[in-house]
Structure 1
C-alpha cells in the first residue's frame, strides 16, 4: 500500500485525541463524525477505510473465500467433520457460529462507513470531479457489501443512512428491494466514474468504470436466477458485459497461470483483473492488517523452515475433487499416471505435489491421488521471500476477472428467449475463454509429447533431461517419467510455450532425451495445437450450451468463491450436491488411502436450509423485527 492510515474505528464513532503528557485524560483536539469530513483528504481517508475493510480477515482475508464456500463439487475440506469449528461443513454451523456473525457484521460496518461518507460528501470545498470519484466508489462499495449480505442471508435490513443509537428494530427488506438499491447505487456510480479507468489509475484494487459495469452485469445475472428468477434481467447482463468488452480496456492474459502469480507477487494485470481487493502493497490507504489466509487453507501443502527461506506455510485443509480434475480435457494416449491434459488450467489448479521437509531441506514430492491433491491456484511459493519470513502473505483477492465477464455474457445470451439455439456471440464469448485455456490465443503451443521408444538404463530417482528445440517457438519444457525397470514411460510437459509474441510454434519441435550412463537412448515426438481444439461444438442445444457454461465456470473460476453461489442461483443446489455425493461415492472418495472421506462425510445431509446462512443469534436478539431463515 502507498498509504497505511485507515479510519474504520473513527467512522464507527471512536474519538482520537492527542495528549499534553503521559496519561493526560483531557484531549486538546479530537475527531468525531460531526467534525470530520472537512477536507478532500479526509473524504479520501474515509473511503480508504471502507476499502480496507474488504480484506480484513473476517471478510476476504479468510472467511468469505474459505469458511462457507469451500464445500462444493469442485473442492472439499479434508479435516475431520466432528469438532470442525470453522463452519466449513454444512453440519458445522448454526446461528450462533462466530463466523456467521462475521459475515453479517463486517459488511454492515462497511455499509455504515459508506453511509456516513455519503451523508457528508458535500461538506468540503473541493474539486467536483474528485468528489464524484469518491462518491462513486463509496456507492459501489455499499452495493457490494449488500451483495455479500443478500447472497448469503437473503432478506436483510436495507440501511441507507447512519442509524440513531435507538434504531435497532429494523425489518428486513425483500431481496427485490435490495437488488433495486444495488442497481441504483451502481448506475449512479457509473455516471460519476465514467472517465475513471483502470489504465488511467494504473492499478486494479480500486473501483473504476469497468468494475462498476462488470458488477452490474453480475447483479443482473444473480437477479435473473434463483430465488427471484427475473429472467428479463439477462438482457441487462449482456448490455453491461458488452460495455466492459467494448471498452477495449480489458483482455485475457495469454498465460492463465500468470494471473495468480501476479497476485502473489503484488503485480498488477489491469487487462485481466477488473477488480481485486488489495492487501499489502496495493491501493493507497488499504492496510496490511498482518496479512491474510489466501493460499493457506486453500493452497499447496508446505511448512516453513528457517533453514530454507524459500519454504512457506500452507495448511491445505481443502482438496480438489475428482469431478473438477476430470472436467479438463485429457490426452487419451497419455501414459502418465494421471493422463496429461490439453487444458493448461488443470495442472495449475490441481496441484499434483506438496512440499515435505526434512532436517536439511524442503522437498517437492508427488501427490498422484486425485481426491487428495491440493488446490493449486494460489501458490504461496511465488510470494516474495520477506512475506514467507514474516507470515503475512499479502496476496490480493480477485473480485472480477475479464474471463468472468465473458462467461456471464455467454450464459445470459443463451438464456434470452429470442434465441432458439445459442447465438454465435455466445459461442464467441465462451470460446475466447477456452482459447486461452488451451494456450492458443496468439498461436500454437506444444500439445503433447509421445514416447516412441522408452530406452533402457535410466534412473527413476534422476530422470534424464528433456530438450525441446526447433519448431519456430520457444519456452516449452518437460520432464521424463521413468519406471522401476529403467524405462522412460512418459513425458510430462511443464511449460508449453513462453506466451509472448514470437514464441509460439509453427511446426512440431524436436524432442531430445538425454542418453543413460549405460543402456539405450529413449526417443519421443511432439505435436502442436492447431488453434481449434478449444472450440465448442457449434450445434449445441440451449440446454447443452448451458451445461457447457456451467462446466467452464468451474474450470476457469474454481476456488474463487463463486461455485456455491453459482449452484444456488442456477436453482438446483440441493439436488446438484446430492448427485455429486453419489458421484463421489462411486469414484472411491471413501477409500482410506486414496480418497477424502472427511470431505464426503461433510456433504451428507444437505437440505434446502443450506441455500442461505442463518441470521446470527446476536442480531436476532438485538433486532426484534428480524426473522430467522427457514430451517434454523
Structure 2
C-alpha cells in the first residue's frame, strides 16, 4: 500500500484501549456518522482495519511456533520480563500473559473497525466497483480475525455490529456477552470469506498488499480443511490454482527477501516498512541469539539481550529435514563465528534475516520484512491434503511434489506413496518444513489430533536431554484443556459471562 495511505490508516487505528477489549471503541477512528461520506473516508477506514495485523502477527510466533515442537527459547536469566513467553512454550499457561491478550485485543480491534465500515458502506454513494472492493477487504479481514480467534480460543463472542449506536454512544452491553459456539463462528467466517471472494478483484487487478479474491479463497479453503469439509476445500483451492495468478518462485529463500515483497507466490502478507513511522518489523532480531553484541552476525554493534533468543529452532525440527532439502539452509543458521574466531553452535532462524540490516532506531530494531500469512505453496499442500482425505491420493501427488520439486530439484525426491495414511503423514511432514516459522505448526498439531501425543513426547525428551535445566517439573503437562488458550483475565474481570 502507498506509504501515505498506510500512515493515515495507522494513525486512524490508534484508539485508546478500554478495560474490556471486546468494547474497543476506536474514538479517533470515527467521531460521528458524518465522517463516512466519501470514497476517501472509507478508504482511510479500510486502511485502519489492516493496521492491527501488525500487532496480531508481531508476536504470533509465541503461540503458533514456540507452543509446538518447532521452536523453543534461549533461557536468559538476566531478562525475566518476558517470562510469559517461556510459560506459553512450556505449557505453564498464564491468563494474564501479554501475548494472549494482544492476540485477543488485536483481532477484536480488526473486527470492530470492520464492523464500522460494513454498517455504513452500503449506503455510500460512490462507484459500486470501488465500494465492493473496499467491502470485500474488510469482510476478508473480519473472517481472518475470527478464524485466528476461534482456532486459539474455541468459542468466542461473535460481534457483527459496530460498538457505536446511531448517536455515537457506546453500546454498554459487555456484561451480557457470552462465548458464541464455535460452529456459529465458523459459519460466519465461511460467509464472510465467501462474500469477500465474490467482491474482491484478482491479484493482478488489486493494489499490492491488499486482500484479493485469491486470498479470500485461500482463507476459505483453509477453513474448510480445518472443518474437514474436504470436497468444499478441494473446489475452492482448485479455483486458486487454476486462476493463473500464482506460482512458486524458483528459489525458496527469495520469497522472504524484502526486495520481493508481494511476489507471485504471495497470497497474503502483513505489510511492514522500515523507518521512523512505527511500521517497521523486528523478527530478525527477536529470532537471533540474545547476544550483548550482535557484530558476529550482523556486522555492527547491537545489544540484543533484551530482544533476542526467541523462536529458536529445536533439534527435533532440525532432524525433520531430509538430506538435500534446500529449505533447511534457507531457514536455519547452524550458528555463528564469535569474535574469537570460534564457531558457536547455536541455531537460530535466518528466514527473516537479510543482510545488510537497516540500522536500528537507537535501541529499537528496524527491519523491512513482511510477514507471510498465506503462500501459494500452502495452497498446493492444502489441496493435496483435501484430495487425499477423499481417497484421491494419485490426484494429490502432483500438488505435493510441486512443493518438493522446488526444495530438492525437479524429480529428485518425489513422494510416490498413495495409501491414505502414508500420504497423510507425508503431507503433514511437508507442511512442517515448508511452512516452518510461519505459525502453522501448533495449529496443525491441534487440528490433526496429534498435539497431546507429540507435545507430551517432545516435552519428556526436552527434560531428559539436560539442555534445559530451567524447565520446571510442571512444564509440558499437556492436557486436553491446554489445546485452547484461556480468555484473557482482563476480559473475564470485566465480563464474568466470559468463562
Q: TM-score per shorter chain, which class?
A: 0.7 to 0.9
1:85 match: secondary structure: helix
Q: In 2, Cα distance between the equivalents of 1:551 and 1:572?
A: 13
Q: Counterpart of 2:19?
A: none
Q: Hey, what does 2:343 align to over in structure 1?
A: 366
Q: Confirm whether residue 257 of structure 1 aligns to residue 253 of structure 2.
A: yes
Distance 1:247 1:288, change over 3 A: farther
**Residue among 296, 311, 317 paired with 1:324:** 317
Query: How far apart are 1:96 and its partner, in Å?
Result: 2.4
Instruction: State the shift of 1:126 in Å.
Output: 0.9
Larger radius of gyration: 1
- CA apart distance, 1:404: 0.6
What is the RMSD computed on CA atoms of the aligned residues? 2.9
* CA distance in 2 between partners of 1:240 and 1:602 (Å): 44
1:603-626 Cα offsets, whole Å, 9 max, x none, are 521222210110112211222322
Which of 328, 332, 343 aligns to 1:346? It is: 328
- Match for residue 394 of structure 2? 424
- Partner Cα separation in structure 1 for residue 440 and residue 474 of structure 2: 19
For 1:175, the equivalent position in structure 2 comes to 182
1:74 aligns with 2:47: no
Of 183, 193, 206, which residue of structure 2 is paired with 1:201?
206
The question of whether the paired residues in 1 share the 8 Å contact of 2:71 and 2:312 is answered with: yes
Bigger fraction of residues in strand: 1
Query: In the alignment, what sits opposite 2:439?
Result: 561
Q: Deviations over 1:421-468 (max 9, x none)?
A: x52221101100000011x2xxxxxxxxxxxxxxxxxxxxxxxxxxxx
Question: Of residues 274, 284, 289 in structure 1, which corresponds to 2:267?
Answer: 274
Aligned equivalents of 1:209, 1:273: Cα separation in 2: 13
Looking at structure 1, the residues matched to 378 and 250 of structure 2 have their Cα atoms a distance apart, in angstroms, of 15
User: CA 1:400–1:567 in structure 2 vs 1: closer, same or farther (change >3 Å)?
Assistant: same
Q: Is the 8 A contact 2:274 2:280 kept in 1?
A: no
Q: Does residue 8 of the first structure (1) align with residue 13 of the second (2)?
A: yes
Instruction: Report if aligned partners of 1:79, 1:599 keep a CA contact under 8 Å in 2.
Output: no
Q: How does 1:24-423 map to 2 (within 5 A)?
A: 32-56=31-55, 59-61=56-58, 63-67=59-63, 69-79=65-75, 84-86=83-85, 87-163=87-163, 164-168=170-174, 169-193=176-200, 196-201=201-206, 203=208, 205-224=209-228, 233-260=229-256, 262-263=257-258, 265=259, 267-280=260-273, 288-289=277-278, 291-299=280-288, 303-304=293-294, 315-330=308-323, 342-354=324-336, 356-357=338-339, 366-368=343-345, 372-385=346-359, 391-416=365-390, 419=391, 422-423=392-393
Give CA deviations for 1:25-81 in whole Å, capped at 9, x if unaligned. Answer: xxxxxx61322111100100001001111013xx212x2123563132121122269
CA pair 347-410 structure 1, distance change in 2 beyond 3 A? same
Once the two structures are superposed, the pairs formed by residues 13-24 of structure 1 within 5 Å of their partners are 13-14=26-27
Give 5+ residue unaligned stretches, structure 1.
17-30, 225-232, 331-341, 441-530, 628-632
In structure 1, C-alpha distance between the alignment counterparts of 2:435 and 2:330, rounded to whole Å: 12
**Structure 2 vs 1, CA of residues 71 and 626 (structure 1 numbering), >3 Å: closer, same or farther?**
closer
Three-state SS of the structure 1 residue aligned to 2:373 is: strand
2 CA distance for matches of 1:539 and 1:559?
27
1:336 paired residue number = none
Higher relative contact order (CA 8 A, sep 6+): 2
Partners of 2:214 and 2:478 lie apart in 1 by 37
CA contact (8 A) 2:62 2:89 kept: no
Distance apart, 1:601 and its partner CA? 7.1
Q: Which has the higher helix share?
A: 2
Q: Which runs of 5+ in 2 are unaligned?
A: 16-23, 164-169
Shift in Å, 1:578: 1.4
Pairing partner for 2:414 from 512, 515, 535: 535
